[in-house]
Every structure is written in structure tokens, then in C-alpha cells.
Structure 1
Amino acid sequence: MLRDGRLVAFGTETVYGLGGIATSAETVARIFAAKNRPVFNPLISHFPTIEAALHEVIASPISQRLAEAFWPGPLTLILPRHADSRICDLACAGLASVAVRVPAHPVARALLQEVGLPVAAPSANPSGRVSPTSAAHVLAGLEGRIDAVLDMGDCPVGLESTVLDLTGAHPVILRPGAITNDALERVIGPFARREAVPSPEENDAVLRSPGLMSSHYAPSLPLRLNAQDCHENEALLAFGTPFPDAPLIWNLSASGDMVEAAARLYAGLHFLDKTGCAQGLEGIAVMKMSEHGLGQAIMDRLKRAAAPRTRHPGHDASESLT
């Protein structure tokens, strides 16, 4: 189905991706249409091996070290496109760079090996909404818009890959993820943790990486971060000991474990949003948690999920909250 240009969602160690051949502009356009995704937002191309991924880019000694240390795994590298790269311009949002990754999930790698072509695979959800960590999440958001879902169970990491930009003079983290700053610096030394990225809502700028929209990963119920209590009309996204008397609770980790919290984040947002709406609740209170290590990536997603919702070019009225 993928070779024929159709769209197939599949699981990885991070989240479910909506796969389509990255070499075909027509197929990539179908991905954007299915997700209702702004075309200025580039896609990550996935590969079964390090060699296949680096064939599409102009590699550097740093990229080689990072690939050997973290691939297969939840790290995306942004590198200059090679002159003979097969990845289409639309997948790269017209940029001279491309985002590449080798996923760690063995079934995902086997699928990519069998396809034999780069596969673009943004998260398999309507653009801007909560990312899917199960096949059921995919169908809840995209049923009728895509051709198939390869059910690979729940995603063990449950949080998108770290995105590291290697196109400039120094590496820059554009999106924190499962590979932490400290882990990266153990391989390549100190570097910039974050760079200001222009907001396309303000100036129609083309983003350099997926996951940089100011409003992203959002449930339909609004989030209230760093809550000190839970209102009677709010569900609770807990971490550690939950507040008493919350009408609806999803605990990311009763023991305060960040790895468990990351793996349960999107499932919890899906649950609280669906169940809370059914119960007539009006929001989700989010307990405070550390932003150290993996907590930085978790809070990055929650801050974007809590950001004011905006419409973007290419979004129709039915997707105004995405």
C-alpha cells in the first residue's frame, strides 16, 4: 500500500506516524490533506538503517557520531539535503535541509526495509491535536481519511523524538524529546539548548522542524498548567499524589517517574479529553512537575497544548482548534 502511494499509519517507539512515500509530492500532499497540516511545517523522513538515512543528506562528523550513538532511536537530525536526495521538496517545506530518523521499533524498521524508500511520517493525528500512542487513537482522529493502520500496540516511549538542527555553525535543539540535552552533550559536547523560532502565525515563516507550532498537541478541553488545586469542573492530569476530590483523574506517574510520565502523557490527554467532555467538564488542570531531563520535553508538549488556539493557512473551519 505504501509503495502504491497510499497512507498507512504505523507505530514507532515514540508515537504513531502517518506514513507515505517521501519521494512522491502527490503522496506527501495527501498526508498534509489528511492531517489538515500547514504546508510550511516540514515532515520527518524515516529509514530502516543509518546508512539509508545518511545517504539522503550531507553528513558531518557530528552527525555520524550522533547517528552511531542514538540510532535506531528517538532522535531526528536536520541536515542539508544531498544533491541527489530522493525526498521531495514538499516533504521539506521547500527548504534546503531535511529531517531524518531511524526509529527503534523493530516492526517499524522491518516495514521501512520492505518498502525500500524514504517514508515521511508525521504523527498520525489531525494537525495540532494530541499525538496518538495507540491504533485506537489514530482511528479516533483520522478514520476515513487514511487507508490503513498497522496496529503495533502502545508506543513504549510515548513522546516525539528530539529534533536537533545541524545545518548551522553549531547544533541547536529545536524540539526536546526522549533523548535529553545531557545525553546529547555526552556525545558532542556543550551546545545551544534552544533557538528562537519565528512564529508562522505572525509572519508566515517556514518552520525548520516539525512540532514548533506555538499551539500544538492540544485536546479540545483547555489546559491549566502548574495547578495548585483542581476545580469542580476540571479533570486532573496528576503527577505524584493527586489533589483530593478531583472529578476525573489520570495520573502520569504515582511514583513521580519521568519515563513513565512520558509514556502515559498522550494516552492521558486523550482519556481526559474524551471522558471529560462526556461528563460535561470544562477544562484540565495539570499538576506541576520538574522541567529537568525528560521533564523538559513533557512540559514543552504541555505548554504547546495549553497555548491559545489559532487558525493557520490551509485549515478549514471544522479544524479550527487544531
Structure 2
Amino acid sequence: METKIFQSDQINQAAALLRQGELVAFPTETVYGLGANALLPESVKQVFAVKGRPSDNPLIVHVTDFSMTKEYVESYHPLTEKIVQHFWPGPLTLIFSIKTGSLSPVVTGGLSTAAFRMPDNKKTLSLIEETGAPLVGPSANTSGKPSPTTALHVYHDLKGKIAGILDDGATQIGVESTVLDLSGEVPTILRPGAVTKEKLEEVLGIEVPLDKHLVTESETPKAPGMKYKHYSPDTPVLMIKPADWKQAIAWAEMNNKKVGLLTTPKIADQYRSADRFVFADDTIEAATRGLFSGLRALDEAQKADIIFAEVFPDDHLGLAYMNRLKKAAAQNYFAEK
């Protein structure tokens, strides 16, 4: 299969393929999604096959506006309107209880709930509108590997497996959306993202708990990205705490380990390595934007035996960054034995 790269003036062609049941990857402000018509179960099944994704993993349904969800949702949480007004379009996915039979179990993972998002990307909103149906859109990569933040990343993983990719350059945020569960009484974050716990609490005026439960391989997750290990390159990753860099580098040299550095300029300037990916600046925003790109670049270069990755405080946007990094590293920090 030829995988075509679509530009802005070719959105109608990409939409035609989606209506026919083909798969087309699309850009969002977070990462690139692997698009299929959410109303065509056989197409959605192909998403799992192409990604190598467990079929019990629910998918996010991407819509053009809030009214598009009403055909599927059974009931809305009382705070839904306030949340949507403040955060849609944007990097926030909302989970609702849905009407029986309104969406295929292939989309919901067999659950009585479904996840919805309105992405903040004009090209993709046009694509959904042109398709005339909502689109499922898990990250457009091989399952378990770092998510794609450019069309080139998608092409690298899925060339010849999907019909096309709608290109919109590099994504702005770099990690997947926050997932907020509104199917119960208390809004609960199932996956942290750029819409932080603090931002939600400021708007809603209530405490918004974070579900830190990590799902094992035998459990059915309620939202994507809840597995214990995820986003992992083939090269092993170790998280390095601020006080441990000198010791970690010395350990690597002593054990003849070629190290790839995934760090801010502040750390990178202190150590010389055969291979490195340096974030654009020292901020958590730059680190989050560059995390998946950096993991991919260091892995694909095949110059490192191990990747040393910089950690950030587990709060605000750092919570989203560390959530992904911990899973990429299989929860492993450097600790000299």
C-alpha cells in the first residue's frame, strides 16, 4: 500500500479515504493520531491491527464540536458545560457514559463509557467535518513506542500500512491529551496532560483527584496510556535525578556504556556524549515538546547502549512529562548497585 502525504488543499481526498474505510493519520496540538471512521467497526479494527494495539484498549473519539457528542452520550456531568467552554478545542479528553449500542464495542473496549475530544487543529477539524463522521485517533505509531509528533515519525512507523497522513508540521505540545473521567460523581484525571490538575481545579473550584493506578497487561484500561510500561524505545531508558548525574555518567564510563543524553541545555553543557538530544531550552514546556522526538532520535541513531533522561518535578505540566518518561523507562531510575 502506498502511504500518501496530504497537504491542506488535499483534505477532501483524505476524507474520501476515511469514508471508504481506509486509515489516515492526522495532526493535533498534542501528537499525531491514527484516524479511522468511528462509525465503521471494520475500519476501527484495522487501527488495532496496524498499531499492534491490544483490542481491549479504548479509543478516543475526535469530534468537531460538543454537539457532535450528543448522539452518543447518555448523560453529562453537571460541570460538563463549564469544562467544555474553557478547554475545548484543546488537549482535554472527556469520558462519558454512553447510550447502549451508540458506538461499537471495538471503539469503547467493551466499556459502557467512551472518550471524546475536540482537537485544537484546524486541518483536523476540517478533516472530520469533510468526512461527516467522528474519527477515532490513537497515537499514530507502533503500540508501546514513543508517540509521533511529526508526519515523518508516522511515516517511519506506518509506511505501507495506512492510506495517508495529513501533514501539519511538528505538534505544539508533544504529549497526549489529559483524560478526565466525567462518568462518575467526582471528575477524575486518568491521564495527565497539558490541561493540568491545577488548571482544572482553578476553573471548577473543586479538588480534582488524579487516579495513579497503573493498569497491568491483563486489565482493561478505562482510558489510553494507563499501562505500566508504554512509550518505550528499544534502547533502555534510565531516569536521572538532579543529584545523580555525575555518578550516573561515571558508572556508564566504568561499565563501557555508550550513553545517549535526553536533557535540557543546562545539563547537556556539563557532559559530553557521543549522542544527545537537547531540548530547545531549560523549561518544562520545551522538555515536554521534545520528549518523544528525543526518545525516537536517540533510539533510531543506534549509537547508545542506554538513554539517560532528565527528570522534572511531578507537578503542573511536569506531571504529564514524568507520566510518559516513567513508562518509557519502565519506572526505572538510576541507582548504582
TM-score (norm 2): 0.86
Q: How many correspondences in the alignment?
A: 302
What are the ranges of 5 or more consecutive residues in structure 2 without an aligned counterpart?
A: 1-16, 333-337
Letter in 1 for 2:169: G
Question: CA offset at residue 267 of structure 1?
Answer: 1.2
Aligned counterpart in structure 2 of residue 267 of structure 1, from 293, 300, 324: 293
Report the AA paired with residue 102 of structure 1.
M
Aligned partner of 2:6 in structure 1 is none
**Structure 1 residue 83, shift from structure 2 partner:** 4.1
For 2:52 and 2:117, locate their aligned partners in 1 and report how far apart those are by CA, in whole Å.
23
List per-residue Cα deviations over 1:56-78 (Å, max 9, x = no partner). Answer: 21222212211111000000001
Aligned partner of 1:46 among 62, 65, 72: 62
Retained in 2: the 8 A contact 1:223–1:286?
yes
Who is 1:206 aligned against? Answer: 220
State the 1:55 CA deviation: 3.7
| Rounded Cα–Cα distance in structure 2 between residues aligned with 1:19 and 1:151 | 13
SS at match of 2:126: helix
What residue identity is the alignment partner of 1:266?
F
CA contact (8 A) 2:60 2:116 kept: yes
Q: Which residue of 2 aligns with 1:258?
A: 284
Q: What is the correspondence of 1:121-200 to structure 2 with a 5 Å cutoff? A: 121-197=137-213, 199-200=215-216
| Cα deviation, residue 184, structure 1 | 0.6
Out of 262, 270, 285, the residue aligned to residue 237 of structure 1 is: 262
Give how far 1:196 is off.
4.8
Shift of 1:195: 2.2
**Which runs of 4 or more aligned residues in structure 1 lie more than 4 Å from their structure 2 counterparts after TM superposition?**
none
Partner amino acid, structure 2, of 1:195: D
Q: Is the CA contact (8 Å cut-off) linking 1:47 and 1:112 kept in structure 2? A: yes
CA distance in 1, matches of 2:45, 2:101: 21
AA partner of residue 87 (structure 2): F
Which of 16, 20, 23 is the matching residue for 2:39? 23
Shift of 1:288: 2.7
**Which amino acid in structure 2 is aligned with residue 150 of structure 1?**
L
**Aligned-residue offset at 1:84:** 6.4
* Most deviating of 183-192 and 105-114: 183-192
Structural mapping, 1:67-146, within 5 Å: 67-83=84-100, 85=102, 87-146=103-162
Aligned partner of 1:299 among 308, 322, 330: 322
User: Radius of gyration: which is bigger?
Assistant: 2
User: C-alpha separation between the residues in 1 aligned to 2:52 and 2:154?
Assistant: 14
Specify the SS of the correspondent of 2:79: helix
Are the aligned partners of 1:7 and 1:31 in contact in 2 as well (CA < 8 Å)?
Answer: yes
Name structure 1 gaps, 5 residues minimum.
310-322
**Aligned residue type for 1:78:** I
Partner of 1:313: none
Q: 1:63 — aligned with what?
A: 80
The root-mean-square deviation of aligned C-alpha atoms, in Å, is: 1.7
Amino acid at match of 2:261: L
Q: Distance in 2 between matches of 1:135 and 1:158?
A: 13
